[in-house]
Amino acid sequence: MRTTFVVALVTVILAVMLTGGCPRKPQPTSQAPLPAQPKAAQTPAATAPEAGTMPDFPGLAPSKKYKIALIMKTMSNPFFQAMDRGAKGEARKLGVDLSSLAASKETSDLEQAGIVENEVAKAVDAICIAPADSKSLVPALLKANQANVPVINIDNRIDRLAAQQAGLKLVTFIGPDNEAGAEKAARYLAEKLGGQGKVAMLEGIRGVDNAEARKHGFEKAMTAFSGITVVDSQSARWELEQGETVFANMLTAHPDITGLFCANDMMALGALRAIDAAKLKGKILVASYDNLKAAQDKIKAGDLLCTIEQHPDLMGAWGVRCAVALLEGETIPPEIAVPTDLITKENVK
Ligand code: ALL
């Protein structure tokens, strides 16, 4: 009887901790230490909430109108428009003065670094950044650290080693498990191919954390199917036009490709154009990532097999909420995971 009570008590305590509901003492600490372990050995911190939940900081009532900068990659990708909407909605609720900023292109990482420096110079209270590159933004973000402007990393991770070596402190990372998300989409593709055939991948910008993680997820999924050969994998730098050109060239080299995984929808939309131009519509199954409106339309039309919803709206909203909570003295978990959902013709909206 007594043992049952103890087991039940421990279970309740663990459940409360895992859902992020444990009571939190307000602490003045602002910067969570960077985990020291290599990537493979990392596990979420004990206080990190499950994917799709986040500490809600009940009763969060800002004591002043905070100035927060949301710095994204480029508004030319509708993915960031969704992130912007989420952040603006939360900023309205919390009375935050939010500046939404972005560089011109997917490849404009140095321009993005300039935006970070400008915002630091304007003395914003916090920065939420979806970095275009995982390493080249480090020096600009260090300037934020030096000026005591807390940095919340969303969507794409700053490279842990580069951050550690530079002594860069990030409050938290809010984003998906990109490897698991890509693996989910790629496994679905392999299953729909009946575990047979020649497949290829269009990668994001090489060396960038989420692009590399999605590539690993794709490779992991494909190695489980002995009848599938990966014949090509190249970067199309997240862009539609590049997706079209790179995949058109791949098709010339490998006209018998029957499956393609793209690390984002923009590249997939480009690849679908190349498939059309090569008169191969219906012969190649395409899987991708982001669940943009244009991708949903392609799924409904039967041109795209599946995509992954990774909730950029939540990344934006939670980024703003965590920034405010931190400025109000709350402790922020070092990792906050957003879910990845497989979207197919069965559940597309
Ligand atoms: C990443 C996002 C997206 C997006 C890409 C392009 O960080 O997670 O999947 O399409 O940026 O900039």
Please report the pLDDT score of residue 53 as a whole number.
Answer: 75
- In this structure, the answer to whether residues 233 and 318 fall within a common structural domain is no
pLDDT score recorded for residue 49: 63
Q: Domain count of the chain?
A: 2
Exposed e or buried b per residue across 315-324, where buried means at least 16 C-beta atoms within 10 angstroms of its C-beta: bbbbbbbbbb
pLDDT at 39: 32
CA 235 – CA 247 distance, rounded (Å): 10
Note the pLDDT of residue 93. 96
Together in a domain, 303 and 315:
no
Q: Ligand 1 centre from 264 Cα, in Å?
A: 7
Q: What is the pLDDT of residue 33?
A: 33
Is residue 155 lining ligand 1, measured as CB closer than 6 Å?
yes
What Å distances lie between residue 292 and 81, 265, 296, CA to CA? 10, 7, 6
- Give the chain's residues under pLDDT 70: 1-49
pLDDT tens digits along 25-48: 233 233 333 333 333 333 334 455
User: 63 CA distance to ligand 1 centroid (A)?
Assistant: 34
Using the mean position of ligand 1's atoms as its centre, give its distance from the Cα of residue 79 in Å: 7
The predicted structure's pLDDT at residue 54: 76
Give me the CATH number covering residue 201: 3.40.50.2300
12 φ, ψ (degrees, to nearest 5): -65, -45
Whether 21 is in a domain gets the answer no
Q: Is 156 in the pocket of ligand 1 (CB under 6 A)?
A: yes
Q: Is residue 215 one of the residues assigned to a domain?
A: yes
Give the number of other CB atoms < 10 A from CB of residue 130. Answer: 25
Q: Give the pLDDT confidence score for residue 289 in this predicted structure.
A: 98
Closest listed residue to residue 216, CA positions, set 226, 198, 230: 230
Q: How far, in Å, is the centroid of ligand 1 from the Cα of 209?
A: 11
| Distance in Å, CA 110 to ligand 1 centroid | 17
Specify the pLDDT at position 239.
98
pLDDT of 48: 55
Give the position, in ligand 1's atom list, of the atom nearest the Cα of 265.
Answer: 10
CA atoms within 13 A on the CB side of 100: 18
Domain coverage including residue 75: 52-176+311-338
242 lines ligand 1 (CB under 6 A): no
Contacts of 81-86 with CB under 8 Å at 24 or more apart are 82/312, 82/313, 82/316, 83/130, 83/154, 83/155, 83/312, 83/313, 83/315, 83/316, 84/316, 85/313, 85/316, 86/312, 86/313, 86/314, 86/315, 86/316, 86/317
Whether residue 27 lies inside any domain: the answer is: no
